[in-house]
Amino acid sequence: MKKLSINISGHLTSVSLENEFIEELQRIAAQQKKSVAQIIREIDAERGGKTNLSSAVRVWILGNIS
Protein backbone atom coordinates (compact mmCIF):
# COMPACT_ATOMS: atom_id res chain seq x y z
CA MET A 1 0.00 0.00 0.00
CA LYS A 2 1.11 3.50 -0.82
CA LYS A 3 -0.46 6.85 -0.11
CA LEU A 4 -0.80 9.47 -2.81
CA SER A 5 -1.28 13.04 -1.57
CA ILE A 6 -3.50 15.21 -3.74
CA ASN A 7 -4.69 18.80 -3.43
CA ILE A 8 -8.45 18.89 -4.04
CA SER A 9 -10.30 22.19 -3.86
CA GLY A 10 -7.58 23.77 -1.77
CA HIS A 11 -7.20 21.01 0.80
CA LEU A 12 -4.69 18.19 0.95
CA THR A 13 -6.09 14.67 0.95
CA SER A 14 -4.62 11.26 0.33
CA VAL A 15 -5.66 7.98 -1.21
CA SER A 16 -4.21 4.64 -0.17
CA LEU A 17 -3.78 2.22 -3.06
CA GLU A 18 -1.97 -1.02 -3.69
CA ASN A 19 1.08 -0.76 -5.96
CA GLU A 20 -0.75 -2.49 -8.82
CA PHE A 21 -3.53 0.11 -8.77
CA ILE A 22 -1.01 2.95 -8.67
CA GLU A 23 0.85 1.50 -11.67
CA GLU A 24 -2.38 1.12 -13.64
CA LEU A 25 -3.50 4.64 -12.69
CA GLN A 26 -0.18 6.03 -13.93
CA ARG A 27 -0.51 4.06 -17.18
CA ILE A 28 -4.06 5.34 -17.77
CA ALA A 29 -3.02 8.91 -16.92
CA ALA A 30 -0.18 8.77 -19.45
CA GLN A 31 -2.50 7.30 -22.06
CA GLN A 32 -5.04 10.08 -21.48
CA LYS A 33 -2.30 12.74 -21.29
CA LYS A 34 -3.46 13.79 -17.82
CA SER A 35 -1.76 13.89 -14.45
CA VAL A 36 -2.63 11.33 -11.79
CA ALA A 37 -3.81 14.21 -9.59
CA GLN A 38 -6.11 15.49 -12.34
CA ILE A 39 -7.73 12.08 -12.72
CA ILE A 40 -8.21 11.72 -8.96
CA ARG A 41 -9.80 15.20 -8.81
CA GLU A 42 -12.21 14.16 -11.60
CA ILE A 43 -13.09 10.93 -9.75
CA ASP A 44 -13.65 12.94 -6.55
CA ALA A 45 -16.02 15.31 -8.34
CA GLU A 46 -17.99 12.42 -9.85
CA ARG A 47 -18.37 10.46 -6.61
CA GLY A 48 -20.10 13.34 -4.85
CA GLY A 49 -18.96 12.16 -1.42
CA LYS A 50 -21.00 8.97 -1.74
CA THR A 51 -18.07 6.62 -1.21
CA ASN A 52 -14.52 6.51 0.10
CA LEU A 53 -12.16 8.21 -2.36
CA SER A 54 -9.65 5.33 -2.39
CA SER A 55 -12.46 2.89 -3.18
CA ALA A 56 -13.82 5.17 -5.89
CA VAL A 57 -10.38 5.35 -7.50
CA ARG A 58 -10.05 1.55 -7.49
CA VAL A 59 -13.49 1.10 -9.10
CA TRP A 60 -12.68 3.77 -11.71
CA ILE A 61 -9.40 2.05 -12.57
CA LEU A 62 -11.14 -1.30 -13.00
CA GLY A 63 -13.64 0.35 -15.35
CA ASN A 64 -10.86 1.93 -17.43
CA ILE A 65 -8.47 -0.96 -17.94
CA SER A 66 -7.95 -1.52 -21.64
Predicted confidence (pLDDT) per residue in 15-59, tens digit:
999 999 999 999 999 999 999 999 999 999 998 878 899 999 999
This model's pTM is above 0.85: yes
- Quote the pLDDT of residue 64: 93
* Total residues found in the chain within this entry: 66
